[in-house]
Structure 1
Amino acid sequence: MEQFFRFLQDYEIWLYLLLGAVAILYFQRLIRSWQEWRSAIFGLERENAQRKLSASLSILGLLVFLAVAEFVLVTFIIPVYPKTTALLTPTLDILATPTITLPPDLVQGEFPLQAGTPQPSLAEGCVAGEIEWNAPSPGEEISGAVELYATINIADLGYYKYEYKQSGSENWVTLTGGNTPKNNELIGTWNTEQLFPGDYQLRLVVYNTQNEQLPPCELPVQVTPP
């Protein structure tokens, strides 16, 4: 199911374009069938035109349903769909040298504990004044509805989109996008109320007028309970 959802996200624009192209084709057929039905004189001719008209309407209705289903899934269902996390099973190493566990008081007294590796607290792939996140800040704790501020200011801007994912996952969820330059301006609001608390990544993906993707600007944040 996750692979299917990822396919719908990755090819969202192309699916809309495909459905739109097919809809235009069948809309033209609908117009021709309507004209044939109105100009038909004989009963059999009128019946054939009526059959074509009904078929075109059915296909158009199906295309509209598919487009609405794609929009609902990508916008509302997939963002709150729980991600499955693989459980790591420890492997027994017969040849490994056994270790001795020291008492907690001895460990704390003699050997200072090292903290785990923290999540990177800097934005990656961003260019100051051209493609960068202005708010929230790298590593900031956020909750609820979060206003997103960014700068998208390149000479040949085509369009941009911004996405998010949970740390450790490879599935980016597209929020929305635009095609007008921004200079430390509000580009949208991210509702985190339905997300599990934890570390997340925000990504700003910019394309030029040649539809070439520039290096994405990624920002680590931490979602906390509302």
Structure 2
Amino acid sequence: MEEVLRFLKTYEYVIYIGIGLVVLWTLHKMAIAWRELRSSQFGLERENAQRRFSSGLTGFAFLVLFTITEFIMVSIVYPDFPNTQTLPTATLQILASPTITLQPVSVEITPTIDDLVPTVDITDEDGCVPGQVEWTYPVAGEVLQGEVILRGTVSVPNLGFYQFEYTQPGSTTWTTIAAGETPIIDQPMGGEGSGRWDTTLLTPGDYLLRLVVRDNANNVFPACIVNTRIIAP
């Protein structure tokens, strides 16, 4: 099912163009059959024209049904299917395990430590459980700069999938960074070779990171949230 959805989404416009061309060809054949049906004078001639028109009408109805199905699959089913969601981090693939060479990041922090430690009050339910659901990097109060590798632990019974998100304090809108579906223990979020987060794309300031875990029955565990601060590179 996942592969079918990905195919329909990837070639969405090609499919629509193909359907449009076939529809035009079908309508053309139907128009010819209709003209022959109206001008026919003999029973056999009329019967043949009627059969061609009915065949064209059936094909047209099938194309309409296929178009509606394609629209529903890519516009409604695809966004809600967990493993096919298009995530903001385009370089992350849940199932891929690329070898990534990390370039060292030179960090020059001139403000004092007191200026850098976020003082954000987290009012959401804290579901961080050591050894089961937790962030190992960053930890609460961590200062982030440039591209970082998010690490954590997701080891719960009957794991379905998990996703990690960010927002700014005071906002109720969480943006998904990426997701994973296999257990990890102090590993990059999403598995080895994943978990990259480019903070240079965000405005420096205080942020919250949230780890949301679901089991294979789609039950949600309490979210694990840590507060961080992003500074300019």
TM-score by length of 1: 0.56
What does residue 167 of structure 1 align with? Answer: 169
Match of 1:149 in 2: 151
**Alignment partner of 1:179 out of 165, 178, 181:** 181
Name the CA distance, whole Å, in 2 between partners of 1:200 and 1:172: 11
Q: CA deviation at 1:60?
A: 4.4
Letter in 2 for 1:192: T
- 1:179 is displaced (CA, Å) by 1.7
Decide which of 64, 75, 80 is 1:66's aligned counterpart: 75
State how 1:82-161 maps to structure 2 within 5 Å: 118-120=119-121, 124-161=126-163
- What secondary structure does 1:193 align onto? helix
Task: Report the CA distance between 1:199 and its aligned residue.
Answer: 0.4
Determine the C-alpha separation between the residues in 1 that align with 2:211 and 2:88.
20
Q: Which residue of 2 aligns with 1:225?
A: 232
Query: What is the rounded CA distance, in whole Å, between the counterparts of 2:126 and 2:53 in structure 1?
Result: 68
The answer to whether the Cα contact below 8 Å between 2:137 and 2:151 also exists between their aligned partners in 1 is yes
Equivalent of 1:197, from 185, 190, 204?
Answer: 204
SS at match of 2:201: coil
In structure 2, stretches of 5+ residues that fail to align are 10-18, 20-25, 27-47, 90-117, 190-194
Which residue number corresponds to residue 55 of structure 1?
64
TM-score after normalising by structure 2? 0.54
1:205–1:76 Cα change, 3 Å: closer
Question: Which residue type is aligned with residue 60 of structure 2?
Answer: R
Aligned residues: 150
Change in CA separation of 1:179 and 1:191 when aligned onto 2, cut-off 3 Å: same
Distance 2:216 2:79 in 1: 26
Summarize deviations over 1:59-97 as a string: whole Å, max 9, x none: 2453466369969x97459xxxxxxxxxxxxxxxxxxxx
Q: Which runs of 5+ in 1 are unaligned?
A: 1-15, 21-29, 31-36, 78-116
1:209 and 1:65, CA in 2 relative to 1: closer, same or farther beyond 3 A? closer
Q: Percent identity?
A: 31
1:8-23 matches, cutoff 5 A: none
For residue 95 of structure 1, what is the aligned residue in structure 2? Answer: none
- Aligned partner letter, 2:165: E
1:148 Cα offset (Å) = 0.7
**Hey, what's the Cα distance between the residues in 2 that align with 1:119 and 1:51?**
60
Matches within 5 A, 1:26-41: none
Report the RMSD for the aligned CA atoms in angstroms. Answer: 3.6
For 1:59 and 1:118, the matched residues in 2 are separated by 51
Of 150-159 and 214-223, deviating more is 150-159
Deviation sequence 1:187-208 (CA, Å, 0-9, x none): 1122222211110000011112
SS at match of 2:57: helix
Q: CA deviation at 1:53?
A: 3.1
Q: Paired residue for 1:212? A: 219
